[in-house]
Structure 1
Amino acid sequence: MNIFLGAIGVDEFDYPQGYLTFLKSKMSKDFEPWTMLAHYEKRVDSWRKILIEQYPIYSLLPFAKYIANDDVACFDLKNGDVVIINSFSTIDCSCHGTYPDFDTWLTAAIAEHESWDEDEDE
């Protein structure tokens, strides 16, 4: 399974081990309603460019895109947490949530994934 971590401005970032481990799992390829950007070449860099342009005051490294809206899950390189950014919104409405770390975000995202799958089965 190919993993693309991106190249723009992330030379000194240490990806959380939980993130790297999750990307190697089969579940990460079929993780609706989230799409893990690292499975698609150039998507991390594309979204990083978009977020740098839209929100230059933040230092964000996107790693997942919500398929039903413009939310993007990102590592906050300044604060060390995970933020959910509503791309294409005004800066005062851009943050839709925060998690202290990737593992906490992943727990919530897995619960959402399981609920999403149940809704599609009905």
Structure 2
Amino acid sequence: MSNLISTVDLPRDFTYPPEFLRVVELGLTNLEPWWIMDGEILFRRHLGLRSRYPADCFVPFAERQDNDDVACWDLDSGGITVVHDFASPGYHRENAFVNFYAWFRRAVEDFIEWGE
């Protein structure tokens, strides 16, 4: 799962946080309904978000399988924003989290609820 967005294609001054890399390294990437993206899917989503929301600086990392929500680092806010992709600009921001672990805790809760 090391096929993340390359440093060449990432926004300047952004590096993947160590807590995210640890989760990926441990293989905790499928928390249905969320899953952490990699490879071509991740790169296409990154380019799509840039074209659909050019006023925002998002780095996507996970998407929900049951809707168009995408978890992203929001470089403008410094936290995590869940983007409802394909929504009109101004209506695309769903939820905000202070950091990756706050989002990850919610993803685990979603996983538990999903299986009930």
After TM superposition, is the score higher than 0.5? yes
Residue of structure 2 equivalent to 1:13: 14
Q: Which has the larger helix fraction?
A: 1
Q: Please give the secondary structure, in 2, of the residue aligned with 1:27.
A: coil
**Matches of 1:85 and 1:74 in 2, distance apart?**
7
Please list the CA deviations of residues 68-87 of structure 1 after superposition, one character each: whole Å capped at 9, or x if unmatched.
00110000122210000011
Counterpart residue type for residue 79 of structure 1: S
Q: What is aligned with 1:104?
A: 102
**Counterpart of 1:67 in structure 2: which amino acid?**
Q
Structure 1 SS opposite 2:101:
helix
Counterpart-to-counterpart distance in 2, 1:3 and 1:32: 20
Distance 1:72 1:54 in 2: 13
Match of 1:77 among 75, 78, 91: 75
The amino acid that maps onto 1:70 is D
1:32 paired residue number: 32
Alignment-mate amino acid for residue 87 of structure 1: D
Unaligned runs of 5+ in 1: none
SS of the residue corresponding to residue 91 of structure 1 reads coil
* Distance in 2 separating the partners of 1:104 and 1:77: 16
Q: Taking structure 1 as the reference length, what is the TM-score of the superposition?
A: 0.86
Inter-partner Cα distance in structure 2 for 1:103 and 1:9: 21
The one-letter code of the counterpart of 2:4 is L
- 1:5-48 deviation digits (Å, cap 9, x = unpaired): 212234531212111111122332x310012113xx12221111
Percent of counterpart pairs with the same letter?
Answer: 25
Unaligned runs of 5+ in 2: none
Moved over 6 A (4+): none
What is the TM-score when the length of structure 2 is the normalising length?
Answer: 0.90
State the superposition RMSD in angstroms. Answer: 1.4
* Aligned pairs, number: 114
